[in-house]
Amino acid sequence: MVKTIQLGSRLRYPITITKLYKEPNQPIKKKEALFQYSFKWKRTVGDNIRGETWEAEETTYADWSSPSDGELKSWKIRVGQEISRDQDCMVVKESCSHDVQFGGLCAICGKDMTEVNWAAESRDMDRAPINMVHDQTHLTVSETQAQKTENALQRRLLQHRKLSLVVDLDQTIIHACIDPTVGEWQKDPSNPNYPSVRNVKSFQLDDGPRGVANNCWYYIKMRPGLEDFLKKISTMYELHVYTMGTRAYAQNVARIVDPDKKLFGNRVISRDENGNMYAKSLQRLFPVSTKMVVIIDDRADVWPRNRPNLIKVSPYDFFKGIGDINSGFLPKQQGLLTPSAAATTNGGLARIAPAPSPDKEDSTTMEPPLEKALEEQEKTLEKQIKDRPLQALQEQQDKQDEAAERASATPENGNTESTTPPPPHHRHQVLQDDDRELAFLENHLTALHKSFFQAYEQNRLSQPSSSPSSLDTQSIPDIGSILTTLKAQALSGCKIVLSGIVPIGMDVYRSEIGLQVASFGAELRSSVTGDVTHLVVSSQRPRTKKVRQAIRYLPKIKIVNQDWLAACFSEWRVVEEGPYLIEGLEDAQKKLNEKVQDAEATETVSDADDTDSGNAPPGKKRILRLKSPPRVRFATAASTGNDEDEDEDEEDSDSGGDDEDEDEDMDEELEAFKPTDADGQLSPIDGLKTFNWGSADEELAEFLESGSDDEDEEEDEDDDEDGDNANGDEDEEAPAQATTNINTTSSSYEKLPAAQGTAPPTKRKADDEEEEESHKRQKSLLGPGPSSLRNELKDEDVEATTAEVETQAAHDDQDVQDADDLDKEFEELDEEALEADFLAMDDSDGDEAQGQQVDGDEAGNGGVSENG
Amino acid sequence: MFFLHNLERRVTLHPSYFGRNMHELVTTKLVKDVEGTCAGDYYIIAIMDAFDVSEGRILPGNGLAEFTVKYRAVVWRPFKGEVVDAIVFSINPHGFFCQAGPLSIFVSSHLMPEEIHFDPNATPPQFTNNADMVIEPGTHVRVKIGGLRTELGEMYAIGSINGDFLGCLQA
């Protein structure tokens, strides 16, 4: 209550104290004059018009007013003292420190805190900046008050040997959806899902979303074992609810989870009181010390400041594909560990939706303004109501038609392409209730509780001053660091490489999964080496470069799918890899070993080729991405003749740059089986090594960009003529090949030969047109080109390109013969293994590749993807 | 304190409502718009009657008719020092919130009798003197308003139960 008050920075220093109006122990009031001071200053006097002005020094006397009410205890200044800068002037016992404020009123003295006046430098509002109450936003407290409250809390918890546990609702302890289908299933005992949805609880919200979703039913599924879990955990922890749902939603869910209000009491905080739509913060509830607070949440990214205290649980996804209905505001999650198809235990039933369902993605890519976000959220909910039942029924129809696994695969593919929200999947029983997370979580929390109090006792004993019986808040250890050490033991010793799990263009070490891997004490590596213990592969893309590299070390390195990692994360130990191993790799390795013995590390094309074909088992063990996607016939190297057409095609597209992905894949493919240890760079077609592909690619890319430049810039057109011409000449031959090639290329190119053939005299013009078109097409395949390069195009570039192209053609002539056998092999493979492979897996793969789930080491391929 | 207050308000009516019962409609709209709102430092509790409805004036531009309505309403203006009965709805370590009609009042733990303290272990948490006084959500309390502040359409009040005959009401 006693406060030292300063003079303030607004005075015109230096000042001299001339008179003190008040004696110590006198009451003072706000804005009352307390002492008088004088200061000297210069005033300009004289005649302004004639310019006869001079400065005269003047002395002014002023009063200093009290900034607060109370009683003056003592002065820190005396009469006659000259003060040159801000300093303490008096000690005051304030009548009210305004520690608790409600809506701008001091809750103790009832004065208006929003008032601003000349006497005080800061507003009284700023004395109580902390909002720490669960269910109110208008009640704020000062730091001292917060400290007092929290101290009392900690003492009480220590007395009961408890800790605080902040619990998230959605996808952590419950899963909610508003799909009316659930209600229908609940009423229909004949439905295969009836047993699963029978104990799904539901409620309606008065202040729920407007529009279609108004008055909808919310269906709440509790995580299996929740009741027991909470009951046991509540003996060790005081539970708080912290959710991004609305207050009404949170309270309704709390009522379902905890009907007697014994577990959560009134300790429920929702997004309405959070004060932030995008992040949660422990400081909102525990502003002073988070030493005794643990969080369980399914999302780590919403706790930017409290990661050490967080136990991330795997999201509970009961209503498949729905995701979190309250995450509309949150930024989209990236790089999630979505369980693989196999993990859903139901044969071919695949989960297609990444945790935030696709229908939400558009709303959450940026941090949208609040109203927009609300709107989007409503839309999302509406969509769920409108679309779900139909889709669900359709799915069911499919299921009835055919129980076979293929049946479920087909509609799923359809769904993926149209990006409509996936319906809850149906098989014999769609909604599986086989989640075991809470059991593990209970163990972790128990262990954490135990080690916290061990550490606490130890700290207390080591401090001799404290008596053993008293509760000592000084010796409270930080639970964040205890949790960190506990977690770090979980996977220590593992050296893990991720492949196909973190989206390209994302730093693996900063990605959610990367951070988690590190937090569990495992070492995250970026590339496969001999001492790596685990390679974690996305089960959707199990054939990446890293996998091929890892095959060499196979018995030592465990190649597992992402479910292994997820299991480790939830069990906090190195889980038995057996069920998670990627199958079929042993064969590949055996083959590889045989090959190494057979052919002593020769690097010729034909050898590589043999290895290739030899290594492809009849099943789907290998992918050779030779199946040509729609490809642009471009003038380069077209003059080499028709026999090598297929081969040409490969080279062409390569130089055109539209197929880097495939091409590289092929190279990698071959490399992986090369007996030597060489890591990259070596092409199976050795002769081409001398040719600088990089520069050719670049130049061609530049050249391709020029197509639009022709339209934009008139002056350039003349310059370009030469280049166009040169290419046009070559282009004459291209159509001839194209005709033979048309089966493999897309039909949109049929137009090309037709136009060429009809009008030889106007051929050049036609060529130009063709070329422009093909440029466009190519561009559309290429994605946005390097626009900075566009304007730099000059005719010498074009000439250079043509020259390069010719040399390339020459090279091709040589290599083509070597590569010819290879190609035949490839073609054969193409027929049997690849077709199946592509259909089964790579189709969806290709689609996804653009957005996500692309191997980190293929980052260079950026926007290019197979549109096969 | 309650007052009978004469007030005036401009009510606009959409052209589609123009007709014989216009004045009735105007009154209905007035009631709908005004009743139960906070107008500055008082709440309009109920409208007694609209004793004067002026002639309508067509607003240029949108065609709405504007009526000036004089009406009489029961208003409640809480005063500092006034004693009101309220119902508790939320409790936290710093104090409790209670609601007197439309006004929510915060009673800080500083403004409670010495013997009343916060008990966080009770379900639900409560303020109690371990005897007859138990304050938890739903309890009826008598509080003295210690401070008031109005914001646009909102009022905040601070209460005290430190005094004779204040605190829990034994029903």
- Written in H, E and C, the secondary structure of chain B is CEEEEEEEEEEEECHHHCCCCHHHHHHHHHHHHHCCCEECCEEEEEEEEEEEECCCEECCCCCCEEEEEEEEEEEECCCCCCEEEEEEEEEECCEEEEEECCEEEEEEHHHCCCCCEEECCCCCCEEECCCCCEECCCCEEEEEEEEEEEECCEEEEEEECCCCCCEECCC
Which pLDDT score, from 0 to 100, does residue B60 have? 94
Q: Is the pLDDT of residue A62 over 50?
A: yes
**A544: amino acid identity, one letter:** T
Q: Which of A69, A86, A124, A170 is catalytic?
A: A170
Which pLDDT score, from 0 to 100, does residue A713 have? 43
Centroid of chain to Cα A267: 30
Cβ B106–A139 below 8 Å, yes or no?
yes
Same domain, B54 and B114: no
A168 assigned to active site: yes
Same domain, B61 and B133: no
The DSSP bridge pattern shows strands A268-269 and A293-297 to be unpaired
Cβ A107–B120 below 8 Å, yes or no?
no
Q: Which of residues B23, B49, B76 is at a domain's end? A: B76
Q: Is the pLDDT of residue A449 over 80?
A: yes
Cβ neighbours of B79 in A, within 8 Å? none
Which pLDDT score, from 0 to 100, does residue A352 have? 33
**A241: amino acid identity, one letter:** V
Which pLDDT score, from 0 to 100, does residue B114 have? 92
Which pLDDT score, from 0 to 100, does residue B105 have? 95
Chain A: nearest CA to B62, how far in angstroms? 28
Least confident of A503-517, A621-635, B123-137: A621-635
Tokens coding A143: 């730091």
Integer Cα distance of B23 and B51 in angstroms: 11
Which pLDDT score, from 0 to 100, does residue A580 have? 79
Q: Is the pLDDT of residue A745 over 70?
A: no
Which pLDDT score, from 0 to 100, does residue B79 have? 95
- With a threshold of 0.90, does the pTM exceed it? no
Cβ A136–B92 below 8 Å, yes or no?
yes
Q: What share of chain A in percent tops pLDDT 90?
A: 14
Chain B: nearest CA to A132, how far in angstroms? 10
CATH code of residue B156? 2.40.50.140
Q: How many CA atoms lie within 13 A of B34 on its CB side?
A: 28
pLDDT digits (tens, 9 = 90+) for A174-233: 988 887 778 877 887 877 777 777 888 888 887 666 666 677 888 888 888 899 999 999
Same domain, B52 and B126: no
Q: Which of residues B50, B76, B102 is at a domain's end? A: B76
pLDDT digits (tens, 9 = 90+) for A145-174: 999 999 999 999 998 999 999 999 988 899
Same domain, B140 and B67: no
Chain B: nearest CA to A194, how far in angstroms? 36
**Helical spans, DSSP H, in A115-246:** 143-159, 180-187, 194-197, 226-233
ipTM: 0.91
pLDDT digits (tens, 9 = 90+) for A801-827: 444 545 454 454 544 444 454 445 444
Which pLDDT score, from 0 to 100, does residue A790 have? 45
A170 assigned to active site: yes
Contact between residue A112 and residue B149 where contact means Cβ atoms under 8 Å apart: yes
Q: What are phi and psi of A305, to 5 degrees?
A: -95, -10
Centroid of chain to Cα A820: 45
Contact between residue B129 and residue B156 where contact means Cβ atoms under 8 Å apart: no
Same domain, B72 and B93: no
The number of beta carbons lying within 10 Å of the beta carbon of residue A428 is 11
Same domain, B88 and B159: yes
pLDDT classification of A698: cutoffs 50, 70, 90: confident
Integer Cα distance of A313 and A337 in angstroms: 12
Which pLDDT score, from 0 to 100, does residue A660 have? 40
Same domain, B54 and B95: no
Cβ neighbours of A262 in B, within 8 Å? 123
Which pLDDT score, from 0 to 100, does residue A508 have? 79
Nearest CB to B106; choose among A107, A112, A156:
A107
Q: Is the pLDDT of residue A9 over 90?
A: no
Same domain, B116 and B144: yes
Centroid of chain to Cα A50: 73
Nearest CB to A136; choose among B90, B93, B121:
B90
pLDDT digits (tens, 9 = 90+) for A229-270: 999 999 999 999 999 888 888 988 988 888 888 888 888 999
pLDDT digits (tens, 9 = 90+) for A528-579: 877 888 888 877 777 777 777 777 777 778 888 888 888 888 888 888 887 7
Integer Cα distance of A71 and A23 in angstroms: 10
pLDDT mean over B101-111: 93
CA distances from B55 to A755, B20, B67 (A): 79, 13, 6
Q: Is the pLDDT of residue A652 over 90?
A: no
pLDDT digits (tens, 9 = 90+) for A516-536: 888 888 888 887 877 888 888
pLDDT classification of A832: cutoffs 50, 70, 90: very low
**Helical spans, DSSP H, in A783-842:** 787-790, 795-829, 835-837
Same domain, B22 and B69: yes
Tokens coding A387: 């679309």
Which pLDDT score, from 0 to 100, does residue B45 have? 94
Tokens 């422990």 sit at which residue? A282
Which pLDDT score, from 0 to 100, does residue A141 have? 92
Cβ A108–B154 below 8 Å, yes or no?
no
Q: Does A104 touch chain B (CB under 8 A)?
A: yes
Q: Is the pLDDT of residue A87 over 70?
A: yes
Which pLDDT score, from 0 to 100, does residue B157 have? 94
Same domain, B62 and B92: no
pLDDT digits (tens, 9 = 90+) for B128-153: 988 888 999 999 999 999 999 998 88
Cβ neighbours of A266 in B, within 8 Å? 90-92, 124-125, 137
- Name, in order, each residue with C-beta under 8 angstroms of A114's C-beta and a sequence gap of 6 or more: A104, A123, A125, B149
Cβ B154–A103 below 8 Å, yes or no?
yes
Say if residue A739 is exposed, middle or buried (CB neighbours under 10 Å; 0-12, 13-18, 19+): middle
Cβ A105–B156 below 8 Å, yes or no?
yes
Of residues A219 and A424, the one with the higher pLDDT is A219
pLDDT mean over A140-144: 92
Which pLDDT score, from 0 to 100, does residue B25 have? 92
Least confident of A238-247, A370-379, B71-80: A370-379
pLDDT digits (tens, 9 = 90+) for A20-38: 999 999 999 988 999 999 9
Same domain, B14 and B44: yes
pLDDT mean over A615-637: 42
Q: Is the pLDDT of residue B46 over 90?
A: yes
- Name, in order, each residue with C-beta under 8 angstroms of A393's C-beta and a sequence gap of 6 or more: A181
Mutation site, A94, A96, A97, A108, interface B, largest B CB count within 10 A: A108
CATH code of residue B33? 3.30.1490.120
Least confident of A290-294, A667-671, A698-702, A749-753: A749-753
Q: What share of chain A in percent tops pLDDT 70?
A: 55
Q: Does A627 touch chain B (CB under 8 A)?
A: no
Q: HEC profile for A416-480? A: HHHCCCCCCCCCCCCCCCCCCHHHHHHHHHHHHHHHHHHHHHHHHHHCCCCCCCCCCCCCCCCHH
A133 to chain B: closest CA residue: B92
Find the domain containing B55 and state its range. 2-76
Q: Which of A99, A124, A168, A767 is catalytic?
A: A168
Of residues A654 and A369, the one with the higher pLDDT is A369
Integer Cα distance of A654 and A309 in angstroms: 51
Q: Is the pLDDT of residue A651 over 70?
A: no
Cβ A107–B125 below 8 Å, yes or no?
no
Cβ neighbours of B156 in A, within 8 Å? 102-105, 138
Q: Which of residues B76, B101, B127 is at a domain's end? A: B76
Same domain, B143 and B92: yes
Q: How many CB pairs under 8 A join A and B?
A: 79
R_g over Cα of chain A: 36
Contact between residue A833 and residue A594 where contact means Cβ atoms under 8 Å apart: no
pLDDT classification of A120: cutoffs 50, 70, 90: confident
- Name, in order, each residue with C-beta under 8 angstroms of A145's C-beta and a sequence gap of 6 or more: A99, A100, A128, A130, B94
The tally of domains found in chain B comes to 2
Cβ neighbours of A139 in B, within 8 Å? 92, 94, 106
Which pLDDT score, from 0 to 100, does residue A213 have? 65
Which pLDDT score, from 0 to 100, does residue B81 have? 93
Which pLDDT score, from 0 to 100, does residue A39 have? 93
